[in-house]
């Protein structure tokens, strides 16, 4: 069986020269000076061993942890409210069904 054109293209690992230029320009320490606006700088990673960077990363991870806790609490409250509404809906349906059964039983007993 002959490989398809897509398989051949995937096996070709040689990158075109324009791609190499774009990669080298956007992988610079200050990508905002070199990258085009079509490629967000958030995709770039710049390694730094400074104390400010470590502190900023700790703050970001702490904030994201707090957000996760708050969002988790919010989702639990929402799910409890949904359960409460569902339970009251089920109870209303059960009450209605009990009334129907009692009425049908009364009708049968009066005949």
For the chain, domain boundaries: 44-109
Q: Between vectors from CA 30 to CA 36 and to CA 49, what angle results, nearest 5°?
A: 145
Rounded to two decimals, the pTM is 0.23
Per-residue pLDDT of 28-40, as tens digits, reads: 555 555 545 554 4
Q: What is the pLDDT of residue 84?
A: 63
Look at 27-31, 46-50, 78-82, 104-108 and tell me which has the smallest mean pLDDT: 46-50
Q: Which residue has the tokens 């992988």?
A: 27
Please check whether residue 44 is in contact with residue 26, taking contact to mean a CB–CB distance below 8 angstroms: yes
Confidence of residue 44 (pLDDT cuts 50, 70, 90): very low
Best CA proximity match to 28, nearest among 44, 43, 49: 44
Helix H or strand E segment including 23: helix 17-26
Is residue 50's pLDDT more than 60?
A: no
């Amino acid at each position: 069986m002959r490989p398809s054109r897509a398989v051949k293209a995937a096996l070709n690992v040689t990158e075109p020269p324009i791609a190499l230029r774009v990669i080298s320009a956007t992988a610079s320490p200050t990508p905002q000076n070199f990258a085009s606006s079509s490629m967000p700088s958030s995709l770039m990673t710049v390694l730094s061993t400074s104390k400010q960077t470590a502190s900023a990363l700790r703050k970001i991870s702490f904030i994201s942890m707090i957000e996760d806790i708050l969002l988790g609490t919010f989702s639990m409250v929402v799910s409890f409210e949904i359960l409460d509404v569902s339970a009251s809906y089920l109870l209303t349906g059960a009450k209605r069904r009990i009334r129907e059964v009692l009425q049908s039983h009364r009708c049968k007993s009066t005949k």
